[in-house]
Structure 1
Amino acid sequence: MVAAHVGIMPLKSSTFPSLPCVPRLRFTKRRPFAIAAMSDDPIGEWILSEGKATKITRISPVGGGCINVARRYDTDAGSFFVKTNRGIGPSMFEGEALGLGAMYETGTIRVPKPFKVGSLPTGGSYIIMEFIEFGPSRGSQSVLGRKLAEMHTAGKTEKGFGFDVDNTIGSTPQINTWTSDWIEFYGEHRLGYQLKLAVDQYGDSTIYQKGQRLVKNMAPLFDNIVIEPCLLHGDLWSGNISSDKNGEPVILDPACYYGHNEAEFGMSWCAGFGGSFYTGYFEVMPKQPGFEKRRDLYLLYHYLNHYNLFGSSYRSSAMSIIDDYLRMLNV
């Protein structure tokens, strides 16, 4: 989701307006990111205990966001990146932490390691994660493509398509109910969910009805391919891509779930992926038949989300994709 890329680490959806819808997340019984015990300063308390620091030498803001406040905590044990939100409970940050942790555990592409999620004593929540010093550029697109494909190859699950918790795509809830069939999952929990938001928010019955026709008839686009659940970043645009000081690619601020690997390119319209990116990617995960025909189907989810978040300027792009597919499928 598009955000301003400023400061040392960009914020999740940092250009988004505050919206009234707050996601209701479902958690599994096992919670690898336990909610911190309440104290007057739970962030400092964690840094000075489990963070293995003896003193915090500086706290400096990282600008650019209107949803979360970001700060860099410098200590004698290194630096930490901390995001806080005074209006939202810890479930949103726990969803982010679980996604970062899942990507980190693949040992492929670099992501900030999440350390702690907790509640603030005056209301709201925080997340503490590894601070990564960014380099001067986004690094090699070819290396980014290869590393991303390595993450998709390594990040597999037997549970099906979905994730252990719901999370957010920008400010929009992203439903990740485990589903055995990809076409059903994408039709219901991605396109279908966004289409319903459009009709509920704008009364847009035209895009809803045409979109539902597409959902019901899109199965032929997936003929003769193998679809395995791959761990996806889920929100891969230019503001969520950087490189470390050694030039290695870094991705951050995810909206993770397990899905068809091609869905990762749904934000390519504002990710700046060039030919070398796709060459590097397909060297590791070969392109499957019909890739070009499915590409816009994955753009559609994000255009619909932008329509629901930002209004009518994105409607024509979403509507054009839907109409093109209805003609292609002759439905």
Structure 2
Amino acid sequence: MPGTPRPPRTPHEEILTERLRDAGYAVGEVERATGGAVAVAGLATLQDGTRLFAKTLLGPEQDVFTVESAGLAALRALGGATTPDVLCASPRLLVLERMGPRPDDARFWEALGHMIAALHTSTTGDRFGWHHDGWLGRLRQDNTWDSDGHVFFAQRRILRWLDEPLVDAEFDRDDRRALERLCASLPDLVPAQRPCLTHGDLWQENVVATGDGAPVLVDPAVSYTWPEVDLSMLWCAPRVPQSERLFAVYAEVAGLQDGWRERMPLLHLRELLSTIAHGDGGWGAGEAVRKVIAPFRRGGGRGPATAPAARD
């Protein structure tokens, strides 16, 4: 109603407002955004009416936002993906041009399929990794270069998580040995694929839209790795039925090797382990991991397994 007073700002809105002003933005108000697990984020309206997206971290200063900004730039410059303009990136603050919500119709998912296929097919390389480490959520992503994709995925994307305190507490010795057996069997489970530039955290909440409804990628954790790793995020995380069009378009443009659906839960293990490391939040990630690794207990079989996904 006209004249209704605005509710008092929350402490998080106050912090974001303060940091925007410290960076030189003439902020009128900030509306906190929901859904993020790492940063305090919000839509900021400046005094001239301009609307921006901004986020900040509450803990110690780190290079999370400068790494994220570099990842957005790489996706755009190297792979032709649409990403938001970065207006400010510092250890305390990231400011992006404002984007809109995802429309979730078949046309949108078709366009996203073309974008991801173009990203993957135009950036193939000879090594797995990236020229510096990154972040997956609040934890470091080890991007040390390796010429062997199976070694890279085993060491940098699965076994890397086992020493995180919450992961160590979740799994017993038999679980850990099953994960190790799975990693040793990766050459039999995942066909050789050339590395390409991947978004790295490509679940549907990291896809937004321009004002005219075209897909935009945000919150990357980039590296050169198997293209199917990106697809596993879109396949295994909760998704809308219309997203089936993405996989059909991707198969037409980039191609998909036989058995790709069966590999999706295996390649999604990294995300499940990250979910546990950050605090499961009730998603059931531990049980999902145990379902995937069940064939590898006590030196068991080598066949791929299916499992539901979790998400932090």
Shorter-chain TM band: 0.7 to 0.9
Q: Which has the higher contact order (CA 8 A, sep 6+)?
A: 1
2-side partners of 1:60 and 1:199: how far apart?
A: 36
Q: In the alignment, which residue of structure 2 is the partner of 1:60?
A: 30
Map residues 121-270 of structure 1 onto 2, 5 A cutoff: 125-134=92-101, 136-137=103-104, 140-158=108-126, 160-197=127-164, 200-202=168-170, 204-223=172-191, 225=192, 227-267=193-233, 268-270=235-237
How high is the sequence identity, in percent, across the aligned residues? 25
**TM-score normalised by structure 1 residue count:** 0.73
Q: In the alignment, which residue of structure 2 is the partner of 1:314?
A: 285
Shift, 1:150, TM fit? 0.8
Q: 2:20·2:27 contact (CA, 8 Å) conserved in 1?
A: no
**Residues 42, 258 of structure 1: alpha-carbon distance in 2 compared, 3 angstrom cutoff:** same
> Which of 237, 246, 257 is matched with 1:277 structurally?
246
Q: Is residue 2:266 matched to residue 1:302?
A: no
Unaligned regions of 5+ residues in structure 1, if any?
1-40, 49-55, 120-124
**Residues 86, 296 of structure 1: alpha-carbon distance in 2 compared, 3 angstrom cutoff:** closer
| Per-residue Cα deviation, 1:86-129 (whole angstroms, up to 9, x for no partner) | 3231411122111111112146332112233224xxxxx11122
> Which of 109, 115, 123 is matched with 2:87 structurally?
115
| Per-residue Cα deviation, 1:277-299 (whole angstroms, up to 9, x for no partner) | 11111122111234234222112
**Residues 199, 43 of structure 1: alpha-carbon distance in 2 compared, 3 angstrom cutoff:** closer
Bigger mean CA offset, 182-191 vs 86-95: 86-95
**Residues 249, 199 of structure 1: alpha-carbon distance in 2 compared, 3 angstrom cutoff:** closer
Q: 1:162·1:259 contact (CA, 8 Å) conserved in 2?
A: yes
2-side partners of 1:107 and 1:264: how far apart?
A: 14
Secondary structure, counterpart of 1:207 in structure 2: helix
| Structure 1 counterpart of 2:229, one-letter code | A
| Per-residue Cα deviation, 1:256-293 (whole angstroms, up to 9, x for no partner) | 21110001122222242643111111122111234234
| Structure 2 counterpart of 1:231, one-letter code | L
Secondary structure, counterpart of 2:221 in structure 1: coil
Bigger mean CA offset, 137-146 vs 250-259: 137-146
Bigger mean CA offset, 230-239 vs 291-300: 291-300
Unaligned regions of 5+ residues in structure 2, if any?
1-17, 305-312
**Residues 237, 202 of structure 1: alpha-carbon distance in 2 compared, 3 angstrom cutoff:** same
Q: Is residue 2:60 matched to residue 1:93?
A: no
| Structure 2 counterpart of 1:209, one-letter code | R
Q: In the alignment, which residue of structure 1 is the partner of 2:257?
A: 288
CA RMSD of aligned residues (A): 2.8
Secondary structure, counterpart of 2:68 in structure 1: helix
2-side partners of 1:114 and 1:261: how far apart?
A: 26
Secondary structure, counterpart of 1:72 in structure 2: strand
| Per-residue Cα deviation, 1:180-202 (whole angstroms, up to 9, x for no partner) | 11101000011111233366344
1-side partners of 2:51 and 2:57: how far apart?
A: 20
Q: 1:112·1:252 contact (CA, 8 Å) conserved in 2?
A: yes
